[in-house]
């Protein structure tokens, strides 16, 4: 046993008598079906069978006896393996005992420290009238129309309609667009576009380079330089609708602007409550993890690192980015996830132990409700969702997730919060 890890090494021995009985039993089974030149099936001498099929007999005996011996030893030691035992240092003789070593990882043993009556500090941002108005302005932006402008050059605030082609420095796939709108003078627009398009007219052609910062929102462009060839197809002005009762009816199921404001505030308050709950879960769990020092299985940590990396890949793909085309050191990125992955695994183990201690479990009603929620989001029937989860072997994972969430809610209800009002930036 290695100190302060979840790795276990067991030196095991199967008694000679047990081995000899197993060899005799397997040899008899071989003798019934083996084809040996000069003998009819089942008539070859057992000594010849044992000599001729020695390797096959040995393999079957080991496959039968070794797992049984490991399972018995693990059960007697009251350990819970999380990896398949690896067998080495195997010493096999038909007339003597079988000796071998089994190496595997187990769930750690630890005592629960304090996890109730904790206090966490939560940053709260109150919803104000200005937040509601900002939300209304965003609705106006989404409902805006773009009207053609003629007879003048591009000015700040205009939207230039462009046909463009960008060639990356050092080669690579070009960026091309037959018709795209560029907000000239906008904070989100790179300076070279603003400088070269300001004062231009429809029909003009411009050529210029753009170097994107390393933290640019679009991963495809981060840290890269493109040489652009741009044709101005036209100029457009953004026309946003006025804030009226008619606007409220057009963009929502409300009947007036006042009603829309009320609904928006309710949605913002709901989102605020959700953020506060998530923040409390995160900080409370971090506090509990920090208070418990115990080793975690490397296999579970590796799995968590893989999961984090997969989420990054899926996030890029959802943005239309081919992960293979992104200049990322995936090995280094994965390695940077190790510390957080260790905390993730500790958190899962602690939540499971707390749930057991407090007799928190998931009922059939909890499962049915979650399946109905998944069905509502996916547009499928609850029966189809349940069938898919069962077929994919994901039903137990869903139950485990629900149990962790119920445990977190229980921890929150048995802890205290100190709200700190955060100033809006």
For residue 17, what is the domain's CATH number? 3.30.70.1050
Same domain as 163, residue 51: no
Tell me how far apart the alpha carbons of residues 262 and 145 are, in angstroms, rounded to a whole number: 26
Q: Predicted confidence band at 93 (pLDDT cuts at 50, 70, 90)?
A: confident
Residue 140 · residue 240 · CB < 8 Å: yes
Same domain as 190, residue 319: no
Tell me how far apart the alpha carbons of residues 417 and 117 are, in angstroms, rounded to a whole number: 10
Question: What are the pLDDT digits (tens) for 6-36?
Answer: 999 999 999 999 999 998 888 888 888 777 7
Same domain as 259, residue 227: no
For residue 232, what are the β-bridge partners? 162
Residue 137 · residue 39 · CB < 8 Å: no
- Beta strand ranges found along 82-155 (DSSP E): 86-91, 98-105, 119-124, 145-149
Mean pLDDT within 219-230: 90
Name the residue range of residue 286's domain. Answer: 253-421
C-alpha angle with apex 246: 241 to 248, nearest 5 degrees? 80
Tell me how far apart the alpha carbons of residues 324 and 313 are, in angstroms, rounded to a whole number: 9
Q: What's the number of CA atoms in the CB half-sphere (13 Å) around residue 227? A: 5
Helix (H) or strand (E) holding 273: helix 257-290
According to DSSP, the β-strands at 175-183 and 159-168 are: antiparallel
Q: Tally helices (H) and strands (E) across the chain.
A: 13, 10
Same domain as 60, residue 90: yes
Question: What are the pLDDT digits (tens) for 247-291?
Answer: 999 999 999 999 999 999 999 999 999 999 999 999 999 999 999
> Can you say whether residue 241 is alpha, beta or left, with left for phi > 0 and alpha for psi between -120 and 50 degrees?
beta
pTM for the whole thing? 0.75
Count how many domains the chain has.
Answer: 3
> Can you say whether residue 16 is alpha, beta or left, with left for phi > 0 and alpha for psi between -120 and 50 degrees?
alpha
Task: Give me the CATH number covering residue 214.
Answer: 3.10.50.40
Residue 387: inside a domain: yes
What percent of the chain stands above pLDDT 70?
A: 98
Q: What are phi and psi of 381, to 5 degrees?
A: -80, 155
Which of 183, 204, 239 is at the close of a domain?
239
In the numeric block, the tokens 């805006």 are attached to: 144
Residue 212: inside a domain: yes
Question: What are the pLDDT digits (tens) for 159-191?
Answer: 999 999 999 998 888 999 999 999 999 988 999
- Look at residues 233, 231, 234 and name the one whose alpha carbon lies nearest to residue 206: 231
Which of 174, 208, 239 is at the close of a domain?
239
Residue 118: inside a domain: no
According to DSSP, the β-strands at 225-239 and 145-149 are: antiparallel
Which of 87, 105, 123 is at the close of a domain?
105
Same domain as 58, residue 188: no
How many residues are listed for the chain in this entry? Answer: 425
Same domain as 188, residue 47: no
Same domain as 303, residue 156: no
């Amino acid at each position: 046993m290695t100190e302060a890890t979840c790795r276990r090494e067991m030196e095991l021995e199967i008694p000679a008598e047990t081995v000899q009985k197993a060899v005799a039993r397997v040899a008899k089974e071989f003798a019934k079906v083996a084809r040996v030149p000069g003998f009819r099936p089942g008539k070859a001498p057992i000594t010849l069978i044992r000599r001729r099929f020695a390797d096959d007999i040995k393999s079957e005996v080991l496959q039968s006896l070794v797992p049984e011996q490991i399972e018995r030893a693990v059960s007697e030691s009251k350990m819970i393996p999380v990896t398949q035992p690896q067998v080495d240092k195997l010493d096999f003789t038909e007339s003597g005992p079988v000796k071998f070593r089994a190496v595997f990882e187990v769930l750690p043993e630890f005592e629960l420290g304090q996890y109730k009556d904790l206090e966490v500090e939560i940053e709260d941002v109150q919803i104000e009238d200005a937040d509601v108005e900002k939300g209304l302005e965003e609705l106006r932006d989404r409902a805006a129309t773009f009207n053609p402008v003629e007879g003048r050059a591009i000015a700040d605030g205009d939207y230039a309609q462009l046909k463009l082609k960008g060639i990356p420095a050092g080669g690579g796939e070009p960026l091309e667009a037959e018709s795209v709108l560029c907000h000239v003078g906008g904070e989100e627009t790179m300076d070279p576009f603003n400088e070269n398009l300001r004062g231009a007219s429809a029909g003009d052609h411009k050529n210029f380079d753009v170097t994107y910062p390393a933290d640019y929102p679009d991963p495809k462009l981060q840290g890269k330089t493109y040489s652009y060839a741009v044709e101005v197809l036209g100029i457009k002005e953004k026309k946003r609708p006025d804030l009226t009762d008619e606007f409220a009816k057009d963009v929502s199921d409300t009947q007036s602007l006042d009603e829309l404001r009320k609904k928006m505030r309710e949605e913002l308050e709901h989102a605020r409550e959700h953020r506060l709950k998530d923040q409390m879960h995160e900080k409370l769990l971090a506090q509990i993890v920090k208070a418990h020092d115990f080793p975690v299985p490397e296999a579970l940590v590796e799995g968590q690192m893989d999961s984090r990396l997969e989420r990054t890949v899926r996030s890029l793909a959802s943005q239309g980015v081919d992960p293979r085309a992104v200049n990322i050191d995936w090995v280094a990125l994965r390695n940077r996830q190790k510390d957080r992955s260790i905390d993730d695994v500790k958190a899962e183990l602690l939540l499971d132990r707390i749930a057991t201690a407090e007799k928190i479990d998931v009922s059939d009603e909890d499962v049915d409700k979650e399946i109905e929620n998944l069905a509502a989001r996916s547009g499928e029937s609850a029966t189809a969702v349940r069938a898919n989860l069962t077929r994919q072997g994901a039903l137990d994972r869903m139950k485990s997730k629900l149990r962790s969430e119920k445990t977190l809610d229980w921890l929150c209800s048995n802890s205290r919060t100190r709200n700190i009002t955060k100033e809006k930036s």
